[in-house]
């Protein structure tokens, strides 16, 4: 039996979602749902569909609670944060304009994260990313989501969980309404939609949940390290520093390619190289004026081929300005200006999933519609 088809026929419309008549049992569907939308197990949120009044229910989250949600009898809102751990993270876009959440999905893919787009119950969109089971540090997941939101120019977008950890007994955090509320599914709401098919709902919502690609805590650590993000204190581990971290000590955290370019100068693609070096210096916390002074000294080491001239101070100021005034953080590993200086000890080389990023134009100056960080 199709769980959320146990609603009155009045909800069935011509554009409604159809659900595959597959062989999944009710138990299997509940297991899929819980694998994605489980947090605290003794409290959940709900609302009155008629008035919109929100309330908290302090009861165990039984199969009956989930079934009533899927059948459209009572909405279920999940408190994702358990201590300082979570198995999902979501960005809540309040406006109906689909472009910001679509940008989020593209940029998440840039970092090797698969994100899933849900049409929320009344207005706007939820973008979900799911983590390895049983869970990951919420602070790490939130840091990466906030990085993506900064990338796309939407830093004020709400992120669930809203905190890195729960503080003290009796604290629950904030709940987010779970997808697939039965009475709204047939209105095209609370369903996952396909960005590659005109935002039409996926015909088999269970297949979406069954095939989610989960991000691991190690992958979150790599994104945090490579992009110089602050690690929440509660998430920090007492393990020994990684080889990548050890190599970077005393070098302002610059990757091997940047160290070599600064030491030797470059022969080609000076403007792109200058831009990339400026991005690295910004990430290392070097003030813009000192970065310009350092790159001016670096230019004297350059040895352009043939009759090409050395990059000018004005060009250095221009490229540094682009790097410092825009939210660029990428390394440009696949660009011709960078590849001759790559080193196998670099974490981007040792983790190719994070290095599979499209290239930017040879001239890194931002275009009017340029929405990604430097190496999209």
Each of the 376 residues of the chain gets a pLDDT tens digit; together they read 445 443 333 333 434 454 445 689 999 999 999 999 999 999 999 999 989 999 999 999 999 999 999 999 999 999 999 999 999 999 999 999 999 999 999 999 999 999 999 999 989 999 999 999 999 999 999 999 999 999 999 999 999 999 999 987 668 999 999 999 999 999 999 999 999 999 999 999 999 999 999 999 999 999 998 888 876 654 544 333 343 333 333 455 688 889 999 999 999 999 989 998 998 898 888 899 999 999 999 999 999 988 899 999 999 999 999 889 887 767 777 778 888 998 776 666 555 444 444 434 334 443 333 223 333 3
- What's the confidence (pLDDT) of residue 58? 96
| Token representation of residue 341 | 């200086």
- What's the confidence (pLDDT) of residue 252? 56
Q: Where are the alpha helices (DSSP H) in 229-346?
A: 243-248, 256-264, 270-283, 288-299, 313-325
Query: What is the enclosing helix (H) or strand (E) of 201?
Result: strand 200-201
Q: Phi, psi at residue 56, to the nearest 5°?
A: -105, 140
How far apart are alpha carbons 278 and 84 in whole angstroms? 35
- What's the confidence (pLDDT) of residue 101? 98
- What's the confidence (pLDDT) of residue 22? 62
Angle at 189 between CA 184 and CA 194, to 5 degrees: 140
How far apart are alpha carbons 347 and 354 in whole angstroms? 9
Task: Look up residue 82 and give its DSSP letter.
Answer: B
Are the CB atoms for 163 and 173 separated by under 8 Å?
yes
Query: What is the enclosing helix (H) or strand (E) of 78?
Result: strand 77-78
Spell out the domains of the chain, with CATH numbers in brackets.
3-218 (3.90.920.20), 244-355 (no CATH)
Tell me the DSSP string of 110-165.
Answer: HTT---EEEE-SSSSEEEEEEBSSS-EEHHHHHHHHHHHHHHTT-TTSEEES-SSS
Full strand arrangement of the beta sheet holding 44-47: 54-57, 44-47, 77-78, 176-177
How far apart are alpha carbons 246 and 345 in whole angstroms? 11
Are the CB atoms for 45 and 65 separated by under 8 Å?
no
């Amino acid at each position: 039996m199709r769980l959320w088809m146990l609603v009155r026929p009045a909800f069935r419309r011509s554009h409604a979602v159809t659900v595959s008549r597959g062989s999944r049992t009710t138990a299997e569907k509940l297991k899929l749902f819980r694998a994605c939308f489980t947090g605290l197990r003794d409290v959940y949120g709900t609302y009155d569909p008629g008035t919109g009044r929100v309330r908290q229910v302090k009861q165990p989250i039984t199969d009956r609670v989930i079934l009533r949600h899927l059948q459209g009898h009572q909405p279920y809102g999940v408190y994702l944060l358990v201590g300082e751990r979570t198995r999902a993270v979501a960005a809540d876009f309040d406006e109906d304009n689909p472009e910001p959440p679509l940008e989020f999905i593209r940029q998440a893919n840039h970092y090797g994260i698969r994100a899933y787009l849900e049409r929320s119950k009344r207005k706007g969109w939820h973008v979900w990313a799911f983590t390895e089971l049983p869970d990951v540090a919420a602070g790490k997941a939130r840091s990466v989501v906030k990085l993506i939101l900064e990338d796309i120019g939407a830093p004020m977008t709400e992120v669930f969980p809203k905190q890195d950890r729960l503080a003290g007994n009796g604290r629950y955090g904030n709940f987010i309404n779970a997808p697939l509320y039965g009475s709204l599914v047939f209105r095209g709401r609370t369903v996952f939609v396909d960005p590659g098919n005109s935002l039409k709902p996926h015909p088999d919502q269970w297949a979406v949940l069954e095939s989610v690609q989960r991000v691991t805590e190690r992958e979150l650590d790599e994104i945090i390290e490579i992009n110089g993000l602050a690690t929440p204190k509660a998430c920090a581990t007492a393990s020994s520093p990684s080889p990548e971290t050890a190599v970077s000590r005393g070098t302002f955290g610059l990757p091997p390619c940047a160290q070599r370019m600064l030491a030797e100068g470059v022969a080609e693609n000076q403007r792109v190289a200058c831009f990339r070096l400026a991005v690295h210096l910004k990430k290392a916390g070097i003030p813009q004026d000192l970065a310009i002074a350092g790159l001016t000294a670096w230019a004297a080491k350059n040895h352009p081929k043939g009759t090409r001239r050395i990059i000018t101070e004005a060009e250095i100021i221009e490229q540094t300005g682009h790097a410092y005034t825009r939210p660029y953080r990428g390394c440009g590993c696949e660009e011709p200006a960078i590849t001759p200086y790559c080193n196998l000890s670099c974490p981007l080389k040792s983790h190719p999933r994070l290095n599979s990023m499209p290239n930017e134009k040879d001239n890194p100056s931002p275009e009017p519609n340029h929405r990604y960080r430097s190496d999209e």
